[in-house]
Amino acid sequence: MSRKIMIIDDDIDLVEAMRITLESDGYQVIDAQEGQKGLEILKKEKPDLLILDVMMGTLDEGFHLAYQIRNDEAIKDIPILMITAVGAQTGFEFDMQRDEDFLPVNEFIEKPVNPQVLLDSVKRNLPVA
């Protein structure tokens, strides 16, 4: 059975790009464009891995969502890859990556997403089946 990956991102084109990439490698992909809706689907579908956009409606909606997930017994073990375009300009990324206890996510991937980078990262973080 193919592994299930969920994408939560409000940019439909990015979702599509990631979906095609992931499907080409044999993953099953589900998605949501909005945080709370995504959380519901996440609880129902229990995917093997979650790809989450850091900035959706607000500057850090993705982070809040990640915290919610980590505090929910039923879904707290789902690995999270966070895609971010915050990158270099705020100083944000640097500190977060170092302070691992503080981090609710497993890995950061910078936008624009490079297919190979994405696939490698997914492979690395998927729990052993």
Using CB under 8 A as the criterion, which residues of the chain lie in contact with other proteins when the complex forms?
Answer: 11, 13-14, 16-18, 20-21, 24, 85, 87-91, 94-95, 111-116
> Which lies closer to other proteins via its Cβ, residue 2 or residue 24?
24
Shortest gap between Cβ of 116 and other proteins (angstroms)? 6
> Which lies closer to other proteins via its Cβ, residue 24 or residue 71?
24
Shortest gap between Cβ of 47 and other proteins (angstroms)? 21
What are the CA-CA distances from residue 77 to residues 74, 88, 97, 123, 128 (Å)? Answer: 8, 29, 19, 16, 13
Shortest gap between Cβ of 35 and other proteins (angstroms)? 17
Shortest gap between Cβ of 52 and other proteins (angstroms)? 16
What are the CA-CA distances from residue 39 to residues 12, 14, 72 (Å)? Answer: 17, 19, 10
> Which lies closer to other proteins via its Cβ, residue 36 or residue 90?
90
